[in-house]
Amino acid sequence: MLFNSYSFIFAFLPLALIGYFTLNHLKQVSLAKTWLIAASLYFYTFYSFNNLPILAMSLLMNYFIGHSLHSELKWISKQNLFRFGLVFNIGLLSFFKYSGFLLPLGLSFFTLQQVAFLIDSYEGLAEEKSFLDYAVFVCFFPTLISGPIVHYQLLMPQIASKDNKRFNLDLFSTGIFVFCMGLVKKVLISEAFASWAKPGFDEATSLDLLAAWKTSLSYLFQLYYDFSGYTDMAIGIGYMFNVKLPQNFNSPFRSKSIIEFWSRWHMTLSQFINTYLFTPIVRAMPKITFKSTMFATFTAMFIAGIWHGAGMTFVVYGALHGFALVVNHMWKKRKKKLPPFMAWFLTFNFINITFVVFRAKDLVGAIKVLKGMFGFTGVVVPKVIVKSVGPLKDFGFKMGTYLQPTDYALIFMLFGAFYLIFKAKSSLELEKEFKPETKVAVACGLAFVFCFFGMNRITEFIYFNF
């Protein structure tokens, strides 16, 4: 089921909330949890039941292993059981990611979440006795399909807390506010940019300079508003259930270095990679030196790249970012600072270029867009501009058509997006300042009505594919 669909907003979500809080009100705590799991499974299997066996298998196996790590076992050592658990999860994920089978919905996310749980269980930080609680942790529908990746120790105490079992109007209204911001990001902003990004990547055979930049920048904003919109909606729904989910984005395009970018973009994934991949790699080395940490940095980033999928594009994407992180660390060591604008400009363009690789169907498609961006396929100037700045034709510029209304819309949206990124408050800042006032309610209502009409052509979220 999609957050941005009529059936979710008008039927599923209200029923899920009413059932959950009613059962909790009647002191039927176990029934309330069962209700939440049933609702989550309905949400998960709304379009197809095909993925359910994989989710069930992963859940049962990890529960069994996690549980066994805390009991006395004769037939296997804890270390071997733990290793088996890791191999099982990584094997399951790799099999579906790289064998060409259709990737089960959410597998990448619920696998990582359970790997973290297994490691924490093995190291004595997490323990689960109740199967019901474990199933809530894995299936909780706001985070099931695309994160934010949440730790057992963060989610479950909130579900267990007595105070959180009562409907909380303050948190509910915060939830609606955050959900509305996410809805606007997805339905009004991301969808618009998607319509400009798609033709350049999927239809055109070659792109001139302006068309290539239009394509790449549109995708950059499409991806950001799609995923951060999804996350806002997930966080908003979390609030409605009295659960505070972790932040996943922190104005990433304001970053002035690649190191900074990865601490602001898809933060729960970065933290997972840093904690459970980078740190063990460094610890496995005989000595912590600059070289060994750089090796670990590159390896961790590379794995993060191919976590997204099997294509060569993700291999290159991971390698480019791994390499950039190493260069960034080497530069930092020299303690020379770039002027802020320069630092931002380099970072932003590097991200934009690597997102082209990330989005393209294959490397040939990526090279097509990049060639255009670097001016190898010439420049086609719209007639309006040529007329006003004189005979550009003499300098080898080709003459295009007049600007169409969609071009003006794109220019407006690009300015708008840059404004939002630099000058406007982020959804996190807005959430902190949120007060349930009339004007906020009116704004939310208006935003919702606008989105309402945009939702008749519902589209999936990009991160459902990863």
User: Which residues contact another protein by CB under 8 A?
Assistant: 116, 119-120, 123-126, 151, 153, 259, 263, 271, 274-276, 278-280, 282, 288, 290, 293-294, 297, 329, 332
Strands 380-381 and 398-399: parallel
CB of 128 to another protein, least distance (A): 14
Which of 277/366 has CB closer to another protein?
Answer: 277
Sign of CA dihedral 302, 304, 308, 310: positive
Least distance (Å) between residue 247 CB and another protein: 12
Using DSSP's 3-state secondary structure scheme, residue 132 falls into: helix
Considering the complex, state which of residue 204 and residue 259 has its C-beta at the smaller distance from another protein: 259
Tell me the two tokens of residue 331.
């530069």
Compute the least distance from the CB of residue 77 to another protein, in Å: 19
Known catalytic membership, residue 308: yes
Q: How many CA atoms lie within 13 A of 52 on its CB side?
A: 13
Q: Could you tell me if residue 293 is left (phi over 0), alpha (psi between -120 and 50 degrees) or otherwise beta?
A: alpha
Residue 116 or 233: the one with the smaller Cβ distance to another protein is: 116
In the complex with another protein, the residue whose CB is nearer, 122 or 461, is 122
Q: How far is the CB of 428 from another protein (least distance, A)?
A: 13
Q: Which is nearer to another protein, 102 or 284 (CB)?
A: 284
DSSP state letter for 82? H
Which is catalytic among the residues 25, 70, 151, 308? 308
Residue 415 CA to residue 76 CA, distance in Å, equals 61
CA distance 314 to 316: 5
Contacts with 463 (C-beta within 8 Å, 6 or more apart), sequence order: 146, 147, 226, 227, 230
3-state secondary structure of 308: coil
Tell me how far, at minimum, the Cβ of 230 lies from another protein, in Å.
Answer: 23
Residue 108 C-beta: closest distance to another protein, Å? 19
Question: CA-to-CA distance for 53 and 47, rounded, in angstroms?
Answer: 15
- Whether 228 and 248 have beta carbons less than 8 Å apart is answered as yes
Chain centroid to Cα 203, Å, comes to: 26
Asked if 51 and 104 touch (Cβ cutoff 8 Å), the reply is: yes
Element (H, E) at 6: helix 6-7
Of 300 and 369, which has the nearer Cβ to another protein?
300
Q: Smaller CB distance to another protein: residue 295 or 452? A: 295
CB of 454 to another protein, least distance (A): 36
Q: Write the DSSP symbol of residue 218.
A: H
Give the three-class secondary structure for 66: helix
Residue 356 is encoded by which pair of tokens? 């082209």
By C-beta, is 138 or 194 nearer to another protein? 138
Closest CA to 108 of 51, 152, 159, 66: 51
Q: How far is the CB of 141 from another protein (least distance, A)?
A: 24
Question: Can you tell me whether residue 380 is helix, strand or coil?
Answer: strand
Q: CA 344 to CA 354: how far, in whole Å?
A: 15
| Active site (catalytic) residues | 308
